[in-house]
Amino acid sequence: MKEFLEKIDDIRFFEVDDFYHRKDEIKEKYNKLNNGEKEMYKWYFYFQFCLLKNPLKEMLWTFLNMECDIYFLSEMANEYRIFCNKRKRLYEKEESEVEFD
């Protein structure tokens, strides 16, 4: 396991933004992994995104594993914007609730 973590050290991520902004770099290095390593990375990927409950998670996994056309990339960018907007609204709502307590 230690060897695997060392091998993926430069393609590890800690949240959606980190992955999304480095997605091309991650994909390039992910494609160099062998099939067993890719399967282990899949476990890592889904563990990191276990709380993400929107289409973006599956789109990011598809992006890693398939050649994607401009339409797919556009849809993925749109889903990322939706995610960011929803997160922003949630943060704003939390902040406004704290102010009134």
Residues 10-20 pLDDT 10s? 999 999 999 99
pTM to 2 decimal places: 0.85
The pLDDT tens digits of the residues spanning 77-98 come to 999 999 999 999 988 877 777 6
Q: How many H helices and E strands in the chain? A: 6, 0
Say how far residue 80 (Cα) sits from the centre of its chain: 10
Tens of pLDDT, residues 11-65? 999 999 999 999 999 999 999 999 999 999 999 999 999 999 889 999 999 999 9
- Cα 72 versus chain centre, distance: 15
Place of tokens 């973006």: 56
Backbone phi, then psi, for 71, in 5-degree steps? -65, -45
Which pLDDT score is estimated for 3? 83
